[in-house]
A and B are shown apart, each in its own frame.
Chain A
Amino acid sequence: MASDSLPTPPSTTLTPTPAAAAAASGSQSATDALTPATGLPPVPTATAAATAGAPTAPPTHAETLEGLLQQIVASNSPSALAGTLRIAVGTPEAREEVLVSTTSTGADPLEALDVAQHTIGALYILSARLTSASTTAPAIPFAYIDNFCRHFDPEQARLAPERVTLLAKGIMQRAEALGTDKAAIAPLHDLLTRYPPDLSFLTPIHPIFVTTCATTSFFTAALPVLAVPISQISTTLCPDLRYQDHLIYHYVGGIVFTALKRYAEAAEFFELCASAPVAPPTGGTSVARGPSQGPLGISMGGIGIGMGMGMMMMPPGPGSRYFNFSSSDPSMFQVEAAKKLLLVQLILHGKASTQALPLPKYTHPIVANLKGTVYNALARVYPNLEQVHAIAAKEAAAFALDDNLGLLGLVVDRAPRWAIRRLTETYLTLSLSEIGRAAGMEQIEEVRRVVLSMIEEGEIDASIDADGSVSFADEEPAAVSKAETDRALRTAQEQEQVLRRLEREIARSKDYLQKAVRSREEGSSANWPNIEEDLLGGSQGGRWADEAVY
């Protein structure tokens, strides 16, 4: 692998062209003034040359690139360099064209840069190259991408957050183009775990990473990331964070947990997505994407979970429905998450939110209301085997339309177990054949297998006799060891500390204080309860708008 990496020769090997050298020495009349931010000569541009009335032709991309490289290598101020690169070469389009070019000798500019030392420069060039449609730019081996993501300087990278997001998308695009989507997982993981101060910060990389893990069936690779609850949203760290990044992350996270049969965590993630505050209107910034494209512009087909788990990453239907921020309707991700949540609840509890496990009261009514749908019809009769099978057969097309047929299969398969579990509430002893009749199973050995499996999974407390009679016992309280108690207490204490820190941060946040002061000035104590609601879904919601960064 290492042999595929681009070599990293010392920067002295870079030989500027005459034009670039002139630019670097500041000898051209139009570039006499040094760039204030970096203390370095500005990069020559066609515009600058024309303005100066220079008789020579405007600098080529290669020459401009060499000028940029000189600045990158010579800079001792990453923040100043980030500012320079952001506005370099006139327009963003012109800058990207330069960044994907080679030097006048045809050398790869990345060869002149040390990943850790020149993170900003390498990040700009790498992200441009990976997302460019140019066919002339030299290919970047995946080993170089791996190396960058393992060794970049996070402090420098945080000076160009939008380029980090671009890099993440570029890594995904390159892996797709090579037909090996899974190759993106390791570099994306490194990028995601090293870029933010810690994993509690939501970044635009989160949804890209979990989506890649899910579409490639590397579900377990996502678990260490999913294990850290999101508690920090920083638009300073990630100014290009979009409202739907959080929705997609938790929606796909729910799918990952469902695939791994970790239904409690799956339900938690679907609920987080479904019950999220709805993004307010942003004045016609809706982004319409075709149904073949995923929420991140990434092509996402069915993930083919297999064995009855056929679920799509992208909620079905026209793509524009998920990004229509011209109204305050909830995202369809939320509606689809609510449907999946109901099915997962049936597996997990034998009943759904429409019965005894309501969604949080702040859930948008459109999301929370599944009345009149096939989902509600299924929940009402569950786990009555005859009726469950009837609905599953009659409404298969409706579930298929939502790409929930695989999940429906799991729900149906689980129904006999819930039917058996309900028997334990009424009977003390039953024969295997009686249980089979109640659970719709004809074969005694199949009933035995299911009962044994339920005992193994701790779903029932029962014992079987040699003659095939099953005695049910009241569920014993779970035995908890001292070590488990200590662990639970430690976790509770850690969570309490997190909550306390969050509370302190909210209490001193500008938004919160402004609201508090305004409420006091208005003298209306009745407004206080709405402060947090306003902050989450009110006037500040514009920060979450789906803005085009470039």
Chain B
Amino acid sequence: MDNNSSPQQTVLARESPQVVSELPTLGGIIAALQAKGDYYGLIQAAERADLVAHDDHLTRLLIAVPLVLSYLIVNDLPSAKFALLRIPDAVASVPLAQATLKLFASVWERRYENIFSRGEALSNLARRADHLQEDLAELIAGLVGTFIESFRQRTFVLVSKAYTTIPLSLAQVYLGLQSDHLLRVTSSEGWHFDAPSQILTPVRIARGTEPSPASSTLLMFEGVTDNVARLET
């Protein structure tokens, strides 16, 4: 578990009045996109804002954190990495940036044992920040929550696919859940649990669970043969 911040630390120790005046607009746009679940739209808006944000300004950080979290939600880790690396050195030492970096590093290296605790730490840090506006704090916490849930979902599918049997303790690490909660979830998904050995047997998710392609239409067949014939002549 991480203990990456103290209660005394504040996120916006060097906040300037200009930051506060600019934030509601951008924060409002980002919040609206988040509410719609439009994370690609959020990424686009934040990327645009990052292009014009001043380097020596904490606004850049308050753009970068939602941007990184959105990239994590859509599972685009290289882009998240560069959004983080663009944070200027002067701002990178701020606790909010540090907490985001730690969460990203755990995801990048697939350190499952740290991911959930670091996500929680980032949420708590945003909510505790004295100078962070309440709606922005909630926005960041909301994005962290969405990421953790989406990551858990992806990991659940991965474990189902990758393990024929798995110790309960290891499944807890992967999914970041207490044993009773995990057993309820896995039971509802049809997993078998052998209590004496503490072994879970996932319901295997095979590749190719998607419906097979429907029969091609005659029109499609004609299109393909026509194209092939033209390219070969």
Q: Which residues of A contact B (CB under 8 A)?
A: 1, 179-180, 182-183, 185-186, 216-221, 259-261, 304, 306-307, 449, 451-453, 455-456, 461-466, 471, 476-482, 485-486, 489, 492-493, 496, 499-500
Contacts and interface: CB of A to CB of B under 8 A. Distances in A.
Contacts of A217: 82, 85-86
Contacts of A481: 210-211, 213
B185 interface: no
B223 interface: yes
B14 interface: no
A465 B51 contact: no
A482 B161 CA distance: 23
Interface string B167-178: 100000000000
A456 B210 CA distance: 17
B165 A466 contact: yes
A258 to B, nearest CB: 10
A461 B207 CA distance: 9
A463 B208 contact: no
A493 B227 contact: yes
Interface residues of B, number: 40
Contacts of B28: none
Contact of B110 (A183, A452, A485, A492): A452
Contacts of B78: 219, 259-261
A493 B223 contact: yes
Contact of A462 (B85, B110, B162, B197): B162
Interface string B195-222: 0010100001011111111101000100
Nearest to B86: A217
A453 B77 CA distance: 14
Contact of B55 (A180, A479, A496): A180
B227 A479 contact: no
Contact of B162 (A218, A463, A499): A463
Nearest to B227: A496
B167 A466 contact: yes
Given A216-B86, A259-B78, 17 more contacts: A182-B50, A182-B51, A185-B51, A218-B86, A219-B79, A219-B82, A259-B82, A304-B85, A306-B85, A451-B162, A452-B162, A455-B158, A466-B197, A479-B209, A482-B211, A493-B223, A493-B227
29 contacts: A179-B55, A183-B52, A185-B51, A216-B86, A218-B51, A219-B82, A220-B82, A221-B47, A260-B79, A304-B85, A306-B85, A452-B110, A453-B110, A461-B207, A464-B162, A465-B163, A466-B163, A466-B197, A476-B206, A476-B208, A478-B207, A479-B208, A479-B209, A481-B210, A486-B220, A489-B224, A492-B224, A496-B227, A500-B230
Nearest to A182: B51
Contact of A482 (B162, B163, B165, B213): B213
Contacts of A261: 78
B86 A466 contact: no
Interface string B45-67: 00110111001000000000000
A327 B66 CA distance: 52
A499 B231 CA distance: 8
A227 B209 CA distance: 30
A431 to B, nearest CB: 14
A373 B199 CA distance: 52
A1 B19 CA distance: 15
A438 B119 CA distance: 35
B179 interface: no
Contact of B51 (A183, A306, A307, A486): A183
Interface string B142-183: 000000000000000010011111110000000000000000
A158 B158 CA distance: 53
A261 B81 CA distance: 11
Given A1-B52, A219-B82, A463-B163, A492 B227 contact: yes
A466 B207 contact: no
Contacts of A471: 164
A489 to B, nearest CB: 6
Contacts of A216: 86
Contact of A221 (B51, B158, B210, B230): B51
B223 A489 contact: yes
B48 A186 contact: yes
Interface core residue of B55, B78, B86, B212 (most chain A CB under 10 Å)? B78
A492 to B, nearest CB: 6
Contacts of B82: 217-220, 259
A453 B230 CA distance: 43
Interface core residue of A183, A482, A499 (most chain B CB under 10 Å)? A482
A462 B55 CA distance: 46
Nearest to B217: A486
A326 to B, nearest CB: 39
Interface in B72-94: 78-79, 81-82, 85-86
A479 B212 contact: yes
B226 to A, nearest CB: 9
